[in-house]
């Protein structure tokens, strides 16, 4: 799908910021793709890359097992930008000497720009950057120019014009480098000559055409969960192949209030999609009876989902393909023929091991996109705002928000509390500002007073987090007035609850979900 696009190849040496680099490039309307560092140069040439970025990484270039890349990257004739480890590796390949720094730099540092002709064009002469390195360049051979330096790092940025190589010892992709986007923009536009023509509308048109080419006249089954990813997949496939798409929604009895009705109204009513609803709630709850271990719950739910899905999928004639909401963070590019390592693809919880069991071919139209890009695509495809910007919801549903054994009564309590919580967060104008908000039923009864009587009833924990990547998260600073209203309504309106607590832990060490 990207043959006619200008593409920036990112060779990932194990950097914690590898995906962030890719996102920053795309934010400049330039398509980016992450590859393993041992990618064949022929593959990069086939993909028609306009430039290459070598990411950072935890290794030392002089270590025996340090990741390397093909030195022929400099023969492709496209500009190369090395970041941190990527800079050290590339410069060492071009004859520079790398050694441990006298003082390891970590955190914010001031650099002095010595040459602002290209990479540092329109960047302040003194600027703050984010450093994270123990090694650095000790000496460079002839042909290198120093572009910037710090007090302890004389080669903070270098250039080799003949090889079209640029290197920075710091991380321009992180927000802690305030002018980092300007530096990346200079590389993309001034040095690589990119036009910035990559738009989500173009992606939508290309993806639709690619689905039509792959599917032909066959039928595609799509597992709907009610979440953003599966909803966008279904909307895109319906635009591409119309009635050849059949969606299956499994009601596992672990859904939020009005979830099933909302999916039916949206996809049957609005999109006119052929939707099969499988009510498997009794089977799920029967299998979960007496189970308290979170991992056992997940395994039971995953196994039952496959049984429920198979029971309906087997009835659908001429089904050859199964659509899956794999996103780009789930995929690691490699030099393999198909462009990915299957072992490194996280299977969408809705389809699990179904492709192998049912003999389907996979359709993964979102596998080149990040989560925020999926939301943009959803808007272009006409999905309503409520669905596009919906907070994440776990695959096992409310089973992991009812701590301990899952029962109908406990599900009722957490459903009603969740509905009040989300409604009040929306009413306060906070839903799009926070990243994920949830209610958890804690298996503890506490003493309370209602009227003139003492009560021993349940505790609801409210959790709300702010995050950009869901790898790290901090608790949301929800105004006390809103928290007070949420607590009051839950205690007064949800039978069986007499206490509400607010979770103020961060991730790590805590997770976002409680189980």
Distance CA 460, CA 437 (A): 13
Q: How many whole angstroms separate alpha carbon 13 and alpha carbon 21?
A: 12
Helix (H, G, I), strand (E, B) or coil at 206: helix
Q: Would the annotation count 510 as a binding residue?
A: no
- Between CA 196 and CA 204, with CA 202 as vertex, the angle to 5 degrees is 140
The reply, when asked if residue 230 is annotated as ligand binding, is: yes
Please give the structure tokens belonging to residue 44: 């990069």
Residue found under tokens 């002469």: 125
Is residue 225 annotated as involved in ligand binding? Answer: yes
CB 199 within 8 A of CB 341: no
Show the tokens assigned to 235: 């909307």
Helix (H, G, I), strand (E, B) or coil at 34: strand
303 is in an annotated binding site: no
CB count within 10 Å of CB 378 equals: 24
Is 228 flagged in the annotation as binding?
Answer: yes
Q: Is 231 annotated as a binding residue?
A: yes
The set of catalytic residues is 84, 171, 173
- Other Cβ atoms less than 10 A from the Cβ of 451: the count is 6
Which tokens hold the place of 300? 């039971």
Q: 166 - beta bridge partners? A: 81, 159
Show the tokens assigned to 500. Answer: 């509400």
The DSSP line for 286-313 is HHHTT---HHHHHHHHHHHHHHHHHHHH
229 is in an annotated binding site: yes
Burial of 428 (0-12, 13-18, 19+ CB in 10 A): middle
Which residues on adjacent β-strands are paired with residue 160? 165
Contact 388, 432 (CB under 8 A): no
For residues 13 and 35, the answer to whether their CB atoms sit within 8 Å is no
- Rounded alpha-carbon distances, angstroms, from residue 288 to 254, 410, 441, 462: 11, 13, 16, 24
Cα angle 177, 150, 64 (rounded to 5 degrees) comes to 85
The Cα 425–Cα 486 span in angstroms is 8
Sequence ranges of the binding site: 225-231
- Binding-site residue numbers for ATP are 225-231
């Amino acid at each position: 799908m990207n043959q006619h696009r200008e593409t920036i190849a990112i060779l990932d040496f194990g950097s914690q910021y590898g995906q962030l680099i890719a996102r920053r490039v795309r934010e400049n309307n330039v398509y980016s793709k992450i590859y393993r560092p041992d990618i064949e140069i022929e593959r990069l040439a086939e993909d028609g890359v306009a430039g290459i970025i070598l990411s950072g990484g935890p290794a030392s270039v002089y270590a025996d097992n340090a990741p390397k890349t093909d030195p022929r990257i400099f023969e492709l004739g496209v500009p190369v930008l090395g970041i941190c480890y990527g800079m050290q590796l590339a410069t060492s390949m071009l004859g520079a000497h790398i050694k441990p720094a006298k003082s390891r730099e970590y955190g914010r540092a001031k650099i002095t720009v010595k040459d602002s002709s290209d990479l540092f064009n329109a960047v302040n002469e003194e600027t703050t950057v984010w450093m994270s390195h123990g090694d650095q360049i000790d000496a460079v051979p002839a042909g290198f120019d120093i572009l910037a330096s710090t007090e302890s790092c004389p080669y903070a940025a270098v250039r080799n014009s003949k090889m079209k190589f640029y290197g920075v010892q710091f991380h321009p992709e992180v927000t802690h480098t305030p002018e980092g986007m300007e530096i990346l923009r200079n590389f993309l536009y001034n040095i690589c000559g990119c036009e910035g023509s990559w738009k989500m509308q173009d992606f939508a048109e290309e993806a639709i055409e690619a689905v039509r080419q792959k599917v032909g006249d066959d039928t595609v089954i799509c597992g709907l969960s009610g979440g953003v990813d599966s909803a966008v997949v279904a909307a895109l496939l319906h635009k591409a192949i119309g009635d050849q798409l059949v969606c299956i929604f499994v009601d596992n009895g672990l859904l939020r209030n009005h979830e099933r009705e909302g999916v039916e109204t949206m996809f049957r009513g609005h999109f006119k999609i052929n939707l099969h609803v499988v009510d498997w709630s009794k089977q799920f709850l029967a299998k979960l009876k007496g189970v308290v271990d979170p991992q056992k719950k997940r395994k039971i739910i995953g196994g039952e989902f496959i049984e429920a899905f198979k029971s309906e999928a087997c009835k659908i004639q001429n089904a050859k393909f199964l659509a899956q909401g794999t996103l780009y963070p789930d995929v690691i590019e490699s030099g393999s023929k198909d462009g990915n390592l299957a072992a490194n693809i996280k299977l969408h919880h809705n389809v699990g091991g179904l492709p192998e069991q049912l003999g389907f071919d996979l359709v993964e139209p979102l596998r080149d996109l990040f989560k925020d890009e999926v939301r943009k695509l959803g808007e272009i495809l006409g999905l309503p705002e409520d669905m596009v910007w919906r907070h994440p919801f776990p695959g096992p549903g409310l089973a992991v928000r009812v701590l301990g054994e899952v029962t109908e009564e406990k599900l009722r309590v957490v459903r009603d509390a969740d509905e009040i919580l989300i409604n009040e967060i929306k009413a306060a104008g906070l839903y799009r500002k926070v990243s994920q908000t949830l209610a958890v039923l804690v298996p503890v009864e506490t003493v309370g007073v209602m009227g003139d009587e003492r009560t021993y009833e349940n505790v609801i924990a409210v959790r709300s987090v702010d995050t950009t990547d869901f790898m790290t998260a901090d608790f949301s600073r929800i105004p006390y007035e809103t928290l007070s209203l949420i607590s009051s309504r839950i205690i007064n309106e949800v039978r069986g609850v007499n206490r509400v607590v607010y979770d103020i832990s961060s991730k790590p060490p805590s997770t976002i979900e409680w189980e």
